[in-house]
Amino acid sequence: MDVCTSELPALDIPKRFGKPHLKRFRPKQEEVVVLRNLLHKETGRDELSSTIILNANASDLLPVRRWPVKNYIELGRQLVNKYPKLCIVFTGAPGEAEVADQLAEKVGSDRCISLAGKITFRQLMVLFTMGNLLLTNDSGPAHFATLTNIRVIVLFGPETPTLFAPKGPQVHVVWKALACSPCVSAFNNRQTKCRNNICMQRISVDCVFLEVCKIYEESLNKDPQEMANEFVIKPQRSMDVQIHELRSPQK
């Protein structure tokens, strides 16, 4: 997608075929009802005003991209303590369900659940339309989520967001930009000798918590007019997304 859209001006495609666009994902009302009922069943609560989705991406595919799973536990605890009506949902593929279930359990709140392996891909997209924020590492869900209005925070480490960051004004990238990064690219067939992903470990829980709180609270004031049927993909530099390094808060 990045390569194709970057070449559109040279190929004169917008002029000849109209502006390139992807339609927003818009679920059916009954699909939303099904997900709401599922959230109610899993949490046992009738009133949950908002949702933050955590995609821990605990599969064996490029494990060097993972943020330490213990960080998700601490982050989840801080979030449920700060926001009394917040629901936290861990997501993932069936192969990640066991880890996701353990993470949700260790957060220690009935407002934190796991739907990993319990919903279809389309239901995941429906969940994105209902959620306020998605936190994930560099993975497929980060890109799919941009077809909805959910805010997305993507944690980058061994790959460069300059090339691989999702497109969209709602995307926020966290990257430490260490000297050894990126070590995974098309040039090395996505193979790296690194077995100690310091680039991800140095993204602290405290810094991510501050960023999540800021973006989440912005989402609570979301203008309903933001909901549009489709959006235009404008050829753009990948750096147009918000890429920044998070610094540890002052003690």
The per-residue pLDDT for range 137-154, each reduced to its tens digit, is 888 899 899 999 999 999
Q: From its phi and psi, is residue 168 left (phi > 0), alpha (psi between -120 and 50) or beta?
A: left
Classified as helix, coil or strand, 171 is strand
Task: Kindly report the CATH class assigned to 19-54+65-244.
Answer: alpha beta
Domain locations in the chain as residue ranges = 19-54+65-244
The per-residue pLDDT for range 164-213, each reduced to its tens digit, is 778 888 889 887 766 666 657 665 556 767 577 777 888 899 999 999 99
The number of CA neighbours under 13 Å toward the Cβ of 229 is 0
Question: Which segments of the chain have a pLDDT < 70?
Answer: 1-22, 47-48, 58-62, 158, 160, 177-183, 185-190, 192, 194, 222-251
pLDDT of 157 reads: 74
Question: How far, in Å, CA of 233 to CA of 144, rounded?
Answer: 14
